[in-house]
C-alpha cells in the first residue's frame, strides 16, 4: 500500500474537486492506497496541515466548485514567514518524509508546475495536473477549468446583447486572461461579440473605433467588445517592451530601481485598462459606453460536464502513473490520450494563441474586429 499526498495551489478553478476525487478514488479503489490532503497549497504542506481523503471525504464533491482542500499562491522557496521571505523547501521535505509519502500530486497552473519542479529536483516524487481557466499551461491541449469559464463568459456576453441593443451603447466585457486570450477569443466568437481584443495582438484604438462607427453606418446602434484583461494598445505594448529592455541595459542599481517602479506603474495602468478604453471610445465614436468586469465569476460555480470529465480522466491517469513510478511529470491531454510530460518541458513556457490559429481565422471570417 502506498501513501499519496495531494494539494491544490494557485488560483481556484472549476474541476479541482472533480480531479481530487478522481485521484483519490482511483488510488483507494483500484490500488488500495491511502490519500492525504494538504490544506491551502504549499503552505499547508509546509505547516503539516492535513485532511484524510477517504471514501467519505471524497463523496459528493464531483459537482462542487472551488477546492475542498483550499489553496494559496505561496511558493516553497519564497514564503512569507514572520515578516520575512524564506526558503521553506526543507520544511516541506520534512513533512513529505514524516508521512512516508510515496508521491505528491500537485494541482495547479504555470506557477504550480514551477514549484513542483523545484521540489522534484530535491528528490520528491511529483506528478502535476494542469488546471487554469486561462488555458495557458503549455504541452497540454486543454486545462480543466477552461470550459466552465468559457461558458460563463459566453453567457455574460449573451446577456449583455439585450441591454446594449436597448440603450444604443458600446458595452465592454472584460474577461480574464492576463497573458493569453483563449477565454476572450473563444467567448467572443461563441457570444457574437463585434470586437475581440487579446494580449497576443496589440490593438489600434482608432481601428476599434472605426469598426464601431462602421456598424453604426450600417444601422446597427450597439457594439459588444470582448476584451481580455491583458489586452493592450500598440502604443502601450511598445512602451512596455522598451521599458523592459531598458531594465536589462541599466548600468546601476539606482537606474534599475527607477525602471522597476515604472514597470509597476505600467502594470497598474493595465488594471484600469477597460475603463480607459471605454472613455476613449466614447470620445472617438460619440456613443455611450459601459464596462462589465466578469472577474472571479468566471472561476465560480458548478464545473461543466466537459471539465468534470477532463478532470476525472487526468486524475485516474495520474493514479496509474503513480503505480508505474512515473514521476517528475505533468499529466497532459494529447488527443484521446493522457500522457506524462517532463516538468522541465513545461516550466518557463506559456501557451498563447498562435497568430495563425484557427480561432483567429474564424473570428475574422465572421467579421469580428481584432483591433488591427
Residues carrying an active site annotation = 134
DSSP letter for 271, please: H
Cell of 26: 482511483
- Neighbour-count burial for 46-80, b at 16+ CB within 10 Å, e otherwise: bbeebbebeeebbeebbebbbbbbbbbebbbbebe
Name the 3-class secondary structure at 5.
strand
C-alpha to C-alpha distance for 228 and 185, rounded to whole angstroms: 8
Cell of 372: 488591427
| Residues 296 and 14: beta-carbon distance below 8 Å | no
| Residues 42 and 92: beta-carbon distance below 8 Å | yes
**45 closest CA partner among 7, 78, 10, 83:** 7
Cell of 188: 467572443
Amino acid at each position: 500500500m502506498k501513501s499519496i499526498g495531494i494539494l491544490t495551489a494557485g488560483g481556484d478553478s472549476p474541476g479541482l474537486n472533480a480531479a481530487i476525487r478522481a485521484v483519490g478514488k482511483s488510488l483507494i479503489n483500484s490500488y488500495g492506497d491511502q490519500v492525504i490532503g494538504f490544506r491551502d497549497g504549499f503552505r499547508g504542506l509546509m505547516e503539516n496541515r492535513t485532511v484524510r481523503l477517504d471514501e467519505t471525504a471524497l463523496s459528493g464533491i464531483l459537482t462542487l466548485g472551488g477546492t475542498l482542500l483550499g489553496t494559496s499562491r505561496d511558493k516553497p522557496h519564497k514564503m512569507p514567514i514572520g515578516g520575512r521571505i524564506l526558503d521553506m523547501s526543507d520544511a516541506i521535505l520534512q513533512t513529505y518524509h514524516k508521512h512516508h509519502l510515496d508521491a505528491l500530486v500537485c494541482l495547479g497552473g504555470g506557477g504550480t508546475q514551477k514549484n513542483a519542479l523545484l521540489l522534484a529536483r530535491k528528490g520528491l516524487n511529483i506528478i502535476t495536473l494542469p488546471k487554469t481557466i486561462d488555458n495557458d499551461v503549455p504541452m497540454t491541449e486543454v486545462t480543466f477549468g477552461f470550459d466552465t469559464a468559457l461558458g460563463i463568459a459566453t453567457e455574460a456576453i449573451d446577456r449583455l446583447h439585450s441591454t446594449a441593443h436597448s440603450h444604443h451603447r458600446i458595452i465592454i466585457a472584460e474577461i480574464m486572461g492576463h497573458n493569453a486570450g483563449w477565454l476572450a477569443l473563444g467567448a467572443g466568437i461563441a457570444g457574437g461579440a463585434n470586437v475581440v481584443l487579446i494580449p497576443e495582438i496589440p490593438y489600434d484604438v482608432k481601428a476599434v473605433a472605426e469598426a464601431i462607427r462602421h456598424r453604426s453606418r450600417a444601422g446597427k446602434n450597439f457594439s459588444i467588445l470582448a476584451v481580455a484583461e491583458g489586452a493592450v494598445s500598440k502604443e502601450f505594448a511598445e512602451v512596455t517592451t522598451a521599458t523592459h529592455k531598458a531594465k536589462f541595459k541599466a548600468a546601476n542599481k539606482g537606474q534599475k530601481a527607477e525602471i522597476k517602479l515604472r514597470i509597476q506603474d505600467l502594470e497598474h495602468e493595465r488594471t484600469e485598462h477597460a475603463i480607459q478604453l471605454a472613455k476613449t471610445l466614447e470620445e472617438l465614436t460619440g456613443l455611450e459606453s459601459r464596462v462589465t468586469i466578469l472577474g472571479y465569476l468566471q472561476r465560480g460555480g458548478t464545473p461543466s460536464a466537459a471539465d468534470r470529465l477532463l478532470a476525472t480522466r487526468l486524475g485516474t491517469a495520474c493514479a496509474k502513473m503513480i503505480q508505474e513510478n512515473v514521476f517528475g511529470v505533468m499529466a497532459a491531454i494529447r488527443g484521446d490520450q493522457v500522457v506524462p510530460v517532463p516538468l522541465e518541458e513545461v516550466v518557463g513556457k506559456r501557451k498563447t494563441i498562435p497568430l495563425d490559429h484557427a480561432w483567429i481565422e474564424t473570428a475574422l471570417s465572421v467579421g469580428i474586429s481584432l483591433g488591427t
